Structure 1
Amino acid sequence: MSNQHIVLDVRDVPKKSKWLLFSLQHLFAMFGSTILVPFLTDLSTAVALVSSGLGTLAYLIVTRGQIPAYLGSSFAFITPITSAMAIGGVGGVMVGSFLAGIVYGILSLLITAFGTDWIVKVLPPIVVGPVIIVIGLGLAPTAIDMAMNVDGEYSGIHLSAALVTLLVTIIGSLLFRGFFGLIPILIGIITGYLYSLIISAITNVQVVNTSGVQAAWQQIISSNSVGEFFQAIFIAPEFVIPFVNYNPLEVINFSIVLLMVPVAVVTVAEHIGDQMVLSKVTGKNFIKQPGLHRSILGDGVATVIASVLGGPPNTTYGENIGVLAITRVFSVFVVGGAAVLAIFFGFIGIVTELIASIPTPVMGGVSILLFGIIASSGLRMLVDNEIDLGIKRNLVIASVILVIGIGGAYIDIPLGDVNVEITSMALSALVGLILNLVLPGKESGYGNGNMFATPDEE
């Protein structure tokens, strides 16, 4: 890839006149997806923004400012978070997230000691691809329920808001160009929000509740002093901090560990995929320099930071890699600027209330596309690695993973007074790993063996 097409290279500092605009593009690209995860899991959207910003800054430091990646809320953890919330509340979720982050650190040490070849043996495309499909399709019922139901009852008005949102997002993804082509998700949410306001006024059915936004705005305009004004604007997010809001030793149990920790294996596979794409987009080899061990460690540090603040686990974002590919602006300073803006937005009360007021069907409409894209990325992994499903071994492994994961199979293990549940996602990944290890003909599961190929090596 020729450097003459690069607008700003990885370590280039942008001009002040363009820095804010470049960073805003990254902020808008990640915004819709990052707030969707806390929206679905009853976590704080403000904390999610702050933790994604801090996590991204930590990632840039750990990778020595050599990888221009933005980190946001991970979709892979949505189902485990929901299940862990029912067992141990927010505190239990945070302890599980913390342990998942520690898994990243352990994998980083293993990669430092033994290189990367063993990862392909443990996580070949024939296992990782179907598991990623399970993540996307396993969330499909959630998206449909959000899009068309209110308290479990069908609502045509709410469904219309979801369909308008979905349609605009699809059109934007395919047809918008330039700056607007970078933010189709955000445009879809805004359009769905405006449609919900209009349809609520016409039908007298409350699709959107703006009372929180109105109260926050009223507090701002009624301020009688500069101090009151800043108090109305800047509101600290509802952080959930260990030993302050909960005792980790009291909420942790083996069920939460089995719910959260195995998902880290899947997200590591996604992380590796993102690093390969980033390497191809920028024309550099991030797997070798600064090294996969550093990028995985950075991801783990970001997740640990989120866990001690009350935010969802973080992961590198494909949406922002898309921004890099389109704009040719690879500067880590631009990505860092987006992280600072995310932290800033997390402390603005009226922004938090505005996010909280987004109607459920609007987020459901966006989710239909996003969750489908996750599933499709699993298919893409199989295609890119030239996995032959005509080979019975590959067909068996993929089929078993898909049915166990999407079908909702689980194992309930009684341990004394506690029942430990291995959920469908973790179980499907575990069964896939075992099948790959015991069935003959392992070479076919690796495909073209090109998982870590970079532009200069292909």
Structure 2
Amino acid sequence: MSDLSSAQSSVKQATLQQPIWRNALAGLQMLFVAFGALVLMPLITGLDPSVALFTAGIGTLIFQLITKQTVPIFLASSFVFIAPIAYSVQTWGMAAAMGSLFVSGLVYVAIAALVAIRGTGFLHRLMPPVVTGPIIMAIGLGLAPIAVNMAMGKSGDGAAELFPYTDSLIVSMSALITTLLVATLGKGIFRLIPIMAGVLVGYIMASIMGMVSTDAVANSEWFAIPNFITPEFNLAAILFMLPVAIAPAIEHVGDILAIGSVTGKDYTKEPGLHRTLLGDGVATSTAALLGGPPNTTYSEVTGAVMLTKMFNPRIMLWAACFAIVLAFVAKFGVALQTIPAPVMGGILILLFGSIAGVGMNILVKAQVDLSDQRNLVIVSTTLVFGIGGMAMGNADFSLQGISLCGLVAIALNLLLPQTKAEEASLGHPQAITENKIEQSSV
């Protein structure tokens, strides 16, 4: 065993023997780290942030149960689904959007079953980096207009002006600059909460500018049941959402390898990738049944685990319990909804850009050669279909945005002939992914 692995094992053993109060305090800290992104996603899509807190907690408990409390992961709102949720809500309504997200969770379950039967090789053949990279880039770049509109004081679609332009820019840039500075210059645990810092400074500036009204907070009850939504199942909405679920499922593999590189354990073997995928999928479907956003693993929490060396999965159980309790504090949920659009817009400029950056990084780390015509065709077509608003279908049903570009990317990858070098590289996806993690940690 290497010195690094021995050190990780010693630290892990120490954290497993911590008293309950220390685990509880560490769990509260993990929730604090994830909190900014957790509540921002539902605020953008019109979901109840209290429901998002509740389903993040329930989802994490489900994940830990299915994975036998072996992986120190906290699940919370996924930004990948923002644009598809917004379109689904606008087209078919919130209940139908929740129904489609429930089925999306079942996609994870189906992939988990395939992984249990056939291993992970087919995943990398279906969606190699040349496919997942541009899809994730299209997700981030396609959301860019929403961030810019909100930063300028408009609604997400730009149709309505909510606040004066100059005041909005001052507020949004204050939030953005604070987030950038904390992310790049912050030390210790503070470096892991740039979103919360940006929201706090932006909110203070917005209050000074007269953009914040706290009347709703004063008039609300202290405790209340979150606004749960019963899903409806609309075939068109389901077919629209299904392709969107595939890319995050593939990304899940990288997330599990990343947390494994931090703790020194191979979670693809124990509890097994099929169990982690199953846990993520069941958590997402459960969230949709309650009206919450789909769940995903959080890199912020992975970073906190690495920084604090808190490897005990029971810590995430405490974080989940705190999230569930907080969901019933009505004044807290109402206060979150008073955050003005310019504050969120400033932070979303960075977040959506970061999503696009993740997609670019996938291509770079996998050394995808864009001078190769096959790769160039897949990447360029996927990007334009995803960002340009291409739609195919009729008045009853159409595919567009991420759903369409995801299917197009997969189809092109399967139909266009590969070189022998490309076929060989697909035979060693584990080594490629581990190399990506090793390079990114340097």
* Superposed CA offset, 1:212-239 (max 9, x none): 22324xxxxxxxxxxxxxxx43211111
Superposition pairs for residues 23-62 of structure 1, below 5 Å?
A: 23-62=27-66
Task: Determine the structure 1 residue equivalent to 2:272.
Answer: 291
SS, match of residue 149 in structure 1: coil
Aligned residue number for residue 391 of structure 1: 372
Task: Tell me, yes or no, if structure 1 residue 20 matches structure 2 residue 30.
Answer: no
Greater shift, 389-398 or 1-10, is seen at 1-10
TM-superposed CA distance for 1:352, in Å, is 0.7
Change (3 A) 1:377 1:445: farther
2:316 is the alignment partner of 1:338 = no
Q: Among residues 405, 426, 430, which one is paired with 1:452 in the alignment? A: 430
**Would the alpha carbon gap of residues 115 and 365 (structure 1) be closer, same or farther in structure 2, given more than 3 Å must change?**
same
In 1: Cα distance, 2:143 partner to 2:335 partner: 25
- Counterpart in the other structure of 1:365: 346
**Partner Cα distance (1:342, 1:117) in 2:** 36
SS at 1:66 equivalent = coil
Aligned equivalents of 1:390 and 1:106: distance in 2?
35
Cα deviation 1:322-346 (Å, max 9, x = unaligned): 1112222111011111111111111
Question: 1:164-313 alignment to 2 at 5 Å?
Answer: 164-200=174-210, 207-216=211-220, 232-242=221-231, 248=232, 252-313=233-294
Q: 1:322 to 1:442 in 2, by over 3 A?
A: farther
Q: Is 2:77 aligned against 1:96? A: no
How many residues are aligned here? 425
SS at match of 2:38: helix
More deviation, 85-94/347-356: 85-94
CA distance in 2, matches of 1:361, 1:61: 39
Which AA in structure 1 matches 2:224? I
| 8 Å CA contact 1:34, 1:48 repeated in 2 | yes
In the TM superposition, residue 26 of structure 1 has moved relative to its aligned partner by: 1.3
| Distance in 1 separating the partners of 2:73 and 2:370 | 33
AA paired with 2:22? K
Q: How does 1:42-121 map to 2 (within 5 A)?
A: 42-121=46-125
Distance 1:443 1:254 in 2: 40
Q: TM-score, normalised by structure 1?
A: 0.88
Q: CA offsets per residue over residues 21-76 of structure 1, 9 Å max, x none?
A: 31122112211111111111111110000001100110011111111111111111
SS of 1:331's equivalent in the other structure is coil
Q: Distance in 2 between matches of 1:10 and 1:422?
A: 51
Structure 1, gaps ≥5 residues long: 201-206, 217-231, 243-247
1:147-194: CA deviation from partner (whole Å, max 9, x where unpaired)? 103353461101211100000000000111122122111111111111
Q: Is the 8 A contact 2:99 2:234 kept in 1?
A: no
Tell me which amino acid in the other structure corresponds to 2:229: V
Instruction: Give RMSD over aligned pairs.
Output: 2.1
Aligned-residue sequence identity (percent) comes to: 39
* SS, match of residue 397 in structure 2: strand
Structure 2 Cα separation of the partners of residues 195 and 180 of structure 1:
21
For normalisation by structure 2, the TM-score amounts to 0.91
Q: Give the SS at the match of 1:285.
A: coil
Seen in structure 2, the aligned counterparts of structure 1 residues 446 and 317 have a Cα distance that, compared at 3 Å, is farther
Give secondary structure in 1 for the equivalent of 2:266: coil
Q: After TM superposition, give the deviation of residue 396 of structure 1 in Å.
A: 1.5
2:297 to 316, 322, 331: 316
1:113-154 per-position Cα deviation (integer Å, ceiling 9, x unaligned): 111111111011100011011111111111111110335346
**Cα displacement (A) at 1:88:** 2.7
**Contact in 2 for aligned 1:10/1:68 (Cα 8 Å):** no
- CA distance in structure 2 between the partners assigned to 1:290 and 1:266 by the alignment: 22
Q: What does residue range 114-193 of structure 1 map to in structure 2 within 5 Å?
A: 114-150=118-154, 152-153=160-161, 155-193=165-203
The answer to whether the 8 A contact 1:85-1:93 is kept is: yes
> 1:408-434: CA deviations, max 9, x gaps?
1111235xxxx1110121111111111
Question: How far apart in 2 are the matches of 1:189 and 1:446?
Answer: 46
Q: Of 423, 429, 434, which aligns to 2:400?
A: 423
**In structure 2, do the counterparts of structure 1 residues 130 and 156 end up closer, same or farther at CA, with 3 Å as the change threshold?**
same
Contact 1:385 1:446 in 2 (8 A): no
Give, in whole Å, the separation in 1 of the partners of 2:256 and 2:421: 23
CA contact (8 A) 1:10 1:66 kept: no
Closer, same or farther in 2 for the Cα pair 1:72/1:443, shift >3 Å?
farther
Aligned to 2:296, the other structure's residue is in SS state: strand
Which residue identity is paired with 1:86?
Answer: Q
Aligned partner of residue 136 in structure 1, secondary structure: helix
Give how far 1:260 is off: 1.4
CA distance in 1, matches of 2:20, 2:82: 38
User: Could you say if the C-alpha distance between residues 446 and 20 of structure 1 is closer, same or farther in structure 2, counting changes exceeding 3 Å?
Assistant: farther
Q: Distance in 2 between matches of 1:445 and 1:322?
A: 33
Q: Does 1:411 align with 2:392?
A: yes
Aligned partners of 1:72 and 1:19: how far apart in 2? Answer: 20
| Structure-1 residue corresponding to 2:307 | 326
SS of aligned partner of 2:212: coil
